[in-house]
Amino acid sequence: MQARKEAIMNQVRSELALSNAQELINKINEKCFTKCVTKPSTSLSGSEETCLSRCLDRYMEAFNIVSKTYTSRLSRERLE
Amino acid sequence: MSATENLKLDEATQKELATFLEREQAQARVQQSIHTFTSLCWDKCITGTPSTRFSRGEESCLSSCVERFLDTSIFLVKRIEQQRESMMGPGSS
């Protein structure tokens, strides 16, 4: 019984983590394509790839900043 | 049927899982909000070509954006409630 319960809990946790990661990747794809690939041509240029790499790093950083700001606001106000 | 009734678990375990699921769902809602805010605030604050780090202006814009969005939400709810009260007249609620 204990093992089944643990297994279910772990499955829920990993599915939620996966879905979260998926959403982040989709957002990055959308935002960075919009910013960096302004005129789609027959392949990605070197500068487009550089832009995309930077954009990826910046978006993850933005996500972390937003996450910190939001969670501290939540604990300050106990909103949910 | 609840989410755990089908799984042939005893009642105590079912209750424990129900509590666990509630907590995970609350956390998932927080995560979803973070995704929404990041998307919104990225569009508002990161206007140029991404560089190798954020400027201090960009960083503070991102955190201000989150705070102001929440303030906006609180403000609008208050306004809506004020309008409701003025519509329904004094002495009623």
> pLDDT digits over B21-40, tens only?
999 999 999 999 999 999 99
- The domain that contains A46 carries what CATH number? 1.10.287.810
Give the whole-angstrom CA distance, residue A4 versus residue A23.
29
B42 within a domain of the structure (yes/no): yes
Q: How many domains does chain B have?
A: 1
Quick: pLDDT tens for B56-69.
Answer: 999 999 999 999 99
Range of the domain at A72: 2-79
Note the pLDDT of residue B4: 64
Residue B63: give its domain's CATH number. Answer: 1.10.287.810
Lowest average pLDDT, out of A19-23, B6-10, B34-38, B62-66, goes to B6-10
List residues in chain A touching B: CB distance below 8 A. 1, 4-5, 8-9, 12-13, 16, 19-20, 23-24, 27, 31-32, 35-36, 51, 54-55, 57-59, 61-63, 65-71, 73-74, 79-80
Distance CA A46, CA A58 (A): 18
Residue of A16, A35, A61 with shortest CB distance to B24: A16
Task: Give the whole-angstrom CA distance, residue B7 versus residue B59.
Answer: 47
**Which ipTM was obtained for this model?**
0.91
* For A30, nearest residue in chain B (alpha carbons): B39
From A4, A12, A20, residue closest to B21, measured CB to CB: A12
The predicted model scores a pTM of 0.87
Of B17, B38, B52, the CB nearest to A5: B17
